[in-house]
Structure formats: C-alpha cells, structure tokens
Amino acid sequence: MDKLGAIIAQLTSLTLSLIVLGVAVGVVFNDAPFVGDVLDNALGLVTTLGDAGLVGLLVAGYLMASMD
C-alpha cells in the first residue's frame, strides 16, 4: 500500500510539473503548438470556480503554493 501511495505521489508531482512547464512556455512563447492552451485552461478553471471572487483567489493561492 505504501508503494501505491508513493507511485501516486510521484505521478501527481510529475503532472503538476508538466502543468507549470506548460504555463511557463505559454507565457514566454505565447502560442506554442505542442503545449496547447494550458494557461487559458488554468485561468478558465479559476474563473469558473470563483467567477474571479474569493474562491478563485483561494484556488489561485493553492496552485501557487503547491508549485514548490
């Protein structure tokens, strides 16, 4: 069971790293074909969850804190 937890933690970390890389590439190169619309999708998620209100701010803060 510990092995499964470690595998899930590593996959989660890898996924988060790929999302951060996609956002960074989207910001730097604006329209990279291999990245897609990661930045637009992330911003859309935050906007949808909180309509740019308190919940959106909390989600944005959580995402920023989990990037470590």
Quick count: other Cβ atoms within 10 Å of Cβ 27? 10
pLDDT in tens, 13-54: 998 888 888 878 877 877 676 666 777 777 787 777 777 567
Helix H, strand E, coil C: the string for the chain is CHHHHHHHHHHHHHHHHHHHHHHHHHHHHCCCCCCCCHHHHHHHHHHHHHCCCHHHHHHHHHHHHCCC
* All structural domains of the chain with their residue ranges: 2-65
The whole-model pTM stands at 0.54
pLDDT in tens, 24-33: 887 787 767 6
Return d(Cα 32, Cα 53) in angstroms, integer: 30
What is the CB-side half-sphere exposure of residue 58 using CA atoms within 13 A?
Answer: 6
